[in-house]
Structure 1
Amino acid sequence: MDQMVGQNVQGQRDKVVIIMGATGTGKSKLSIYLATRYRAEIVNSDKMQVYKGLDIVTNKVTWEEQCGVPHHLLGIRDPYTDFTVEDFCYSALHAIESILSRGRLPIIVGGSNRYIEALIDGDESKFRSKYNCCILWVDVSMEKHYPFLSERIDQMVENGLIEELSEMFDPNLDYSRGIFRSIGVPEFDQYFRTKPYLNDENCEMLLQKAISEMKENTWDLAHRQLKKIHRLQYGKGWGMHRLDATEVFGKRGKEAEEAWKDCVGGPGLRIVAHFLKDITKQAPADVIAVDHES
């Protein structure tokens, strides 16, 4: 597309796409899928992925997965420092303006809903007065989502999570600061502290305990994120477009990819197309589902 995608004519608000959802629902995949079809750049809104390091633990998209799409606020911050809500709002606004200045569409994506809420509704809602937002919500039923999250953590362990944590472990770590607040870091503290003094059996027992705690805390995070999204959608009337990805999580391989395009990618593409063309009428009923029960 050759037109200035995110920018509007004088007097109209510039356009921003926002993708929300609980951890592990496929937000990043959708953002990259949309960005490769429009002239778009991605602004990360995951408060742990903003830090350098622990790429497996924080589940950052890899260079290959980014498909050449520019990503902002991803892996840029010193892991020992704090990145506050105020820091995010300032940095995100700067990134948005930079993206728009190049005639591209900003896509904000991540699971830190408190940061997104502060960006959109904070500062006397100046964001809403300046930008026209299209908010996509990728949703998955808990019945399908929780087993997937467990499998994902098992895969992270296979991909080198323990080795990655071992390289950054320090007995004097402050788990209330920086990247070390990430789920998957404090859970392994006891394992790394006592590992040199334990036999193989007890060591394995502690390792499995840490992995189980990481899974439980990830489930809790997903539940809190979903609860927050419900409040924003049904309590504050954010008008999100809900994309139900549940069917995808019951399939594997080619079938899963086809289901994703049918349930998430295709509908998301059509919703954004309506948004960018200034079509104000509601998207067709077969494109979005507004009812949700978990």
Structure 2
Amino acid sequence: MKKTVIAIVGPTAVGKTKLSIEIAKRFNGEVISGDSMQVYRGLDIGTAKITEDEMEGIPHYMIDIKDPDEDFSAADFQYYVQTYIDEISSRNKVPVIAGGSGLYIQAALYNYNFSKQKRNDAVTERLEKELENDGVLPLYNRLKETDPEQAAKIHPNNHRRVIRALEIYEITGLTKTEYQQEQELESPYNLIIIGVEMDRANLYDRINRRIDTMVKNGLVAEVSRLYDQGFENCPSMKAIGYKECIPYIKEEQSFETSIELLKRNSRRYAKRQYTWFKNKMDIMWYRITPETMDERYQMILDDLAGILKNR
């Protein structure tokens, strides 16, 4: 029998964390974070990482498993999530995935075959030699020309991912984006995906207030500490919440400008998340408001009970 997995998706600040706790409590579940930045130790406030108190005794996974200078790809995410699903299911618990990293969650739940295309050592060595001689910019510009969608997802400092995307194109004739689109979207799990959405005005207000709370709780000090530890150019520090604060820490930008950019980028990210989930997966959507959140959560729990009973 397929393992049952419940996933909670939707834009940032919409209330996925609280809902995942309620679902785990109701259905004997344990939670796997679906946020690709919460894997990093020390990136706590800016990633809205769940606190011990907020967990309410529910075990959580995929949090604090990497140092800020370590790479973490969609393939890595898939491996860890699928391992935790097996582990949680083996104890007759229900894995509950909560997060907003769309491609990563889809890759894990629909079993993308990242290893299907074997590496070609000759191509790899040539690209690495180009990197050594000319730097990453010519390679990154080539990626922008051949696969602009993939280039937009990869920071130039992430040399490994830039080279891998170019490898796939040179070896297969397909861009990495085209290669991913060819994946067969059939999940190996008994999968139930709940989407939580909110009207734009309410969601943007929640995002702005969340960021004000992050700042109050020490976001700038957290980014400053990571900067002082030498992590400025690591891929993890390109996450929203961190990249906006560094110019302020370096005295290149005012505090007010940094926070306004953070709020703007967070709102834009929420819009991209929502669009991505709407177009990519089969999701049961629930629209909530701050006033009806508890009522809607109860509806979701009741609907889930009916679905699970009939599967």
Alignment partner of 2:243 out of 178, 186, 189: 186
Q: Is this contact kept in 2: 1:175–1:186, CA < 8 A?
A: no
Residues 86, 126 of structure 1: alpha-carbon distance in 2 compared, 3 angstrom cutoff: same
The answer for the alignment partner of 1:284 in structure 2 is none
Q: How far 1:69 moved relative to its partner?
A: 0.5
2:95 aligned counterpart, secondary structure: strand
Query: CA-atom RMSD, angstroms?
Result: 1.8
How far apart are the structure 2 equivalents of 1:183 and 1:22? Answer: 14
1:147 pairs with one of 195, 205, 210: 205
What is the TM-score of this pair, normalised by structure 2?
0.73
Report the CA distance between 1:137 and its aligned residue: 0.2
* Large movers: runs of 4+ above 6 Å: none
Match in the other structure for 2:8: 19
Q: Distance in 1 between matches of 2:80 and 2:186?
A: 13
Which one of the candidate residues 227, 235, 258 is aligned to 1:210?
258
> Hey, what does 1:262 align to over in structure 2?
295
- What residue in structure 2 maps to residue 253 of structure 1? none
In 2, Cα distance between the equivalents of 1:157 and 1:109?
A: 24
Is 1:242 matched up with 2:285? yes
Please state if 1:92 is matched with 2:81: yes
Question: Once the two structures are superposed, what CA deviation does each residue of 1:49-89 show, in whole Å capped at 9, x if it has no partner?
Answer: 11111211110010000011010111221111111000010
1:97 Cα deviation from its structure 2 partner: 0.3
CA deviation map 1:132-184 (0-9, x unaligned) = 1110001011121112211110111111111212211149644451x212212
Q: After the TM superposition, which residues 61-210 of structure 1 pair with which residues of structure 2 at under 5 Å, given as runs?
A: 61-121=50-110, 122-123=112-113, 125=184, 128=187, 130-170=188-228, 173-175=231-233, 177=235, 179-194=236-251, 206-210=254-258
Distance 1:107 1:194, change over 3 A: same
Q: Which runs of 5+ in 1 are unaligned?
A: 1-11, 196-204, 249-255, 280-294
Instruction: Give me the whole-angstrom Cα distance separating, in 2, the residues matched to 1:183 and 1:126.
Output: 29
1:116: how far off? 1.2
1:120 deviates by 2.8
Listed one character per residue, the Cα deviations across residues 182-227 of structure 1 (whole Å, up to 9, x for unaligned) are: 21212122211128xxxxxxxxx70111101111110110011011
Question: Is this contact kept in 2: 1:243–1:267, CA < 8 A?
Answer: no
Matched-pair identity in %: 33
CA contact (8 A) 1:165 1:185 kept: yes
Count how many residue pairs are aligned between Structure 1 and Structure 2.
241
Aligned residue identity for 2:293? W
Question: 2:3 and 2:246 mapped to 1: Cα distance?
Answer: 46
**Unpaired runs of 5+ in structure 2?**
114-182
Pair 1:114–1:126, CA change in 2 (3 A): closer
Aligned to 2:241, what secondary structure does the other structure show?
coil
